[in-house]
Amino acid sequence: MLELHNISAAYHNRYILEDISLRIRKKEFTGIIGPNGAGKTTLLKIMTGIKSPEKGQVRLNGKNINHLTKKQIAKIMAVVPQSSFIPPLFTVEDVVSMGRYPFRQFRLTDTEHDTACVDAAIEKTGIQSFRSRMICELSGGQRQEVIIARALAQTPRVFVLDEPTANLDIKHQMKILCLAAALVRDDGLAAVMVIHDLNLAARFCDRLILLHDRKIMAMGPPEKVLTPDNLEMAYDVSTRVCRNCFTNALEVVILDQPFEERFL
């Protein structure tokens, strides 16, 4: 669905990513992890066509993404950004219906299919109870659910999330990641997510990509990527990795560090 070939990216002549090649496949939930400044969000911008690479090529559904219009991209790929401004006087249903924009021939005209897609997105995200409320009345977690519903209304085949659980409570974190995993499993989407929480990444993602020093340091299932050696090299912390007996997922435990003595 989405392929990156020998991608390099820079800001102000300083390279952030070098020689990145990977493939995002359908029915697979891929997590991108790495320390701050490793280039995770830059990689997502290149994947989605927001930023052009200095070298290499991105292919979406077999076509060079730079040769596609924004509407053509949006018919295949939906993006849930870190933050998104929403005019406060729109209702939830209004915002979700914005996801149908790439398919509309006339800006303010919805077909029966558009309405059905909006209804399905609202139902999948479980926000029926507040579909008529104003956006300004919602909590941060509820707003994030609305943004995800807007993305689902696009009926995408590739689902891209940039730190979707940042600043959310544990209930909303679990709800959003369970939904994303279900979309991959049941609807056959290809999903890719930038996330800082290694334990959530290990629990929900089928495959992880660890970025460090402008390169892909490790790529594969969580068991291959989340090793103490990899984490010490990438994050400069000492860890132990075990399997949680309740979730059967890997769990990363950060051990005491010398700098703790300075602050505790």
Task: Say whether pLDDT at 260 is over 90.
Answer: no
Same structural domain, 174 and 151: no
Q: Which of residues 134, 155, 176 is at a domain's end?
A: 155
Q: Which of residues 220, 239, 254 is at a domain's end?
A: 220
CB 117 within 8 Å of CB 153: yes
Tokens (6 digits) for 190: 């290809």
Residue pLDDT, tens place only, 212-248? 999 999 999 999 999 999 999 999 999 999 999 999 9
Structural domain includes residue 36: yes
Of 159, 187, 181, 142, give the one whose Cα is nearest residue 80.
Answer: 159
Structural domain includes residue 90: yes
Same structural domain, 108 and 136: yes
Structural domain includes residue 241: no
Q: Which of residues 123, 155, 187 is at a domain's end?
A: 155
Distances (CA, A) of 148 to 98, 104, 153, 182, 201: 12, 20, 9, 13, 18
Residue pLDDT, tens place only, 107-164? 667 789 999 999 999 999 999 999 999 999 998 889 999 999 999 999 999 999 999 9
Residue pLDDT, tens place only, 91-106? 999 999 999 999 887 6
In angstroms, rounded to a whole number, what is the distance separating the alpha carbons of residues 192 and 44?
9
Same structural domain, 191 and 166: yes
CB 227 within 8 Å of CB 241: yes
Same structural domain, 1 and 71: yes
Same structural domain, 2 and 25: yes
Residue pLDDT, tens place only, 194-217? 999 999 999 999 999 999 999 999
pLDDT band at 166 (very low <50, low <70, confident <90, very high): confident
Same structural domain, 166 and 62: yes
Residue pLDDT, tens place only, 26-83? 999 999 999 999 999 999 999 999 999 999 999 999 999 999 999 999 999 999 988 7
Same structural domain, 191 and 212: yes
In angstroms, rounded to a whole number, what is the distance separating the alpha carbons of residues 117 and 104?
13
Burial class (CB within 10 angstroms; exposed 0-12, middle 13-18, buried 19+) of 110: middle
Structural domain includes residue 123: yes
Main-chain dihedrals φ then ψ at residue 47, nearest 5 degrees: -60, -35
In angstroms, rounded to a whole number, what is the distance separating the alpha carbons of residues 152 and 135?
18
**pLDDT at position 88, please?**
81
User: Which DSSP helix (H) or strand (E) runs through 21?
Assistant: strand 14-24
Of 224, 232, 233, give the one whose Cα is nearest residue 206.
Answer: 224
Structural domain includes residue 148: yes
CB 62 within 8 Å of CB 143: no
Note the pTM of the prediction, 2 decimals.
Answer: 0.92
Same structural domain, 23 and 149: no
Structural domain includes residue 259: no
- Domain holding 150, by residue range, is 86-155
